[in-house]
Structure 1
Amino acid sequence: MLNEKRIARIDDLLSKKQPDLQVMLDNVHSSQNLSAIIRSADAVGVLDIYYSTKENESLRIHKTITQGAHRWTHRYRMHDDHKVAFLKEKKDQGFQVVVTHLEERSVSFRHIDYTKPTLLVMGNEKEGVSAEIVKLADEVIIIPMQGMVQSLNVSVATGLILYEAQRQREDAGRYDTSVLTHEKKEKIKAEWIYRDTIARKSKGQIPSEFKEEILGY
């Protein structure tokens, strides 16, 4: 059983989670990049992380990269064929879909209001974000660059954008009061205490049923 200090830490963590700031990765290939993004997402209070793949396989989580952050976020995988339906559902729920992509309507990532319910979509390492997703974007953003190389590693780019979102939300006092309902918070807390207890007893190994959820449409 966890001690009171550990439980209080989980309570504090949940009070700062931002359920209306979410991340989706469009067919990201590198498990190292996914792991680094999970760590950055947890650092700014993201609760839900989604990723699509063309194969029916999960990406490996590198615990030396996440440093345990994967245990304090929810991870969902979907097949590539389902991502358009997923994005339309998010838009129906009131999320603005913010996509990283270079085109005529692109604006600096700093010009977006991330205090709104936001789903940030990042492209894969080779092709970027797919055209079908760009068509669904409410906002298209770029990270201004002054060097010869005109792109950043996807995990670095995600971290930069998420910390701009964190800055705006912190200025707006969004981390001062818990956004999660009491019922939702208690449900997640019970799951995390159970999972944390298992992880500690098994030296960090978590059963597969706790790793991620598979989305289907």
Structure 2
Amino acid sequence: MASRLFEEQEHAALYQKYRLPSPSQIHNLVLDYLQRKKGKPFSLAVDIGCGSGQSTRGLASYFERVIGIDVSRAQIEEARKVDGPENVSYRQGLAEELEFEDGSVDLMFKTLAPYMSERCHVVRNKYEEIFDAITFPDKERVDNIHFKRQASVSWVKGFFESLSYYQTFRKKDPERAKASIERMEQSFLQTVGVTPSDAVLEVKRTAFCLLASKPE
């Protein structure tokens, strides 16, 4: 069932500004798997829960068409504001109600993050529950994909402000939410010992990739 976490335009705009596309390591794993299971040409990719289109646009150079689908109208509007490849389009819709003919889609792509606290265990368990729930016999998983990037403290602050649980906190208690994000910023600055203008951090993340191929 879809979670409606990005209904407000302001929140969707923050998501567009501070969220990153899927890393190249993930794309390489997915494309290698697709090549082994199907081979070229790669005609159609569908990005489920595409948000504001960061990862959707990242698939454009590998497929003839890429369609991003998200339940949030605000997210789709933000995605359409970005000048992108002509072979990318966006639709508002539900993952449970896709209107594609059987066998017409080469890749169903989905990124997953612990937006809601009661679901964080899914990520902590390295997607084991999701992997076990996949009924296709041909499936693989890749663990502990590490990547890093340089980011300013102000970007890290904006990233946290774009998180749905921060936005929920902000709605319930704006003053405490603002104070918490400011304390976090000051803690980062004190740790690295620099002023805000030149404060740069090395941000490290770990991902897990689940791959499955529908039987013909």
Same fold, TM exceeding 0.5? Answer: no
Instruction: Give the alignment's TM-score, normalised by structure 2.
Output: 0.33
Relative to the length of structure 1, the TM-score reads 0.33
Which gives a bigger RCO, structure 1 or 2 (Cα 8 Å, sep 6+)?
Answer: 1
Larger radius of gyration: 2
Greater strand content: 2
